[in-house]
Structure 1
Amino acid sequence: MKRLFTALFTVVAISTLLAGCGQKGPLFLPEETAPVPVQAEPATEPAQTE
């Protein structure tokens, strides 16, 4: 009986530790950055054909 309890406790402990690993969503506030202004591309002249 003691062996069964020890095995069961070990399985539950390992399962709990494994379930606690990893990031489950945003655990911190992201840094607020200023939006980057969109720059218009310079106008290009159409190619001249002769």
Structure 2
Amino acid sequence: MRRFILCTALLFAGGLLAGCGNKGPLVLPPGQSGSTVAPNASVPAPATSAPLPDGP
């Protein structure tokens, strides 16, 4: 009997936890059309090294 109550309580708790979270369809933020790359993505400038100082 004790095992039955424990299993029932665990199943009930699992059911409650499974019901947590956002409900409804997935909604993208405004301005997102589903593409992964932004149309105005800028390319970073190539890195340049500073000139080395003259030695002693």
Q: Max radius of gyration: which structure? A: 1
TM-score (structure 1 length as normaliser): 0.45
Structure number with the higher helix fraction is: 1
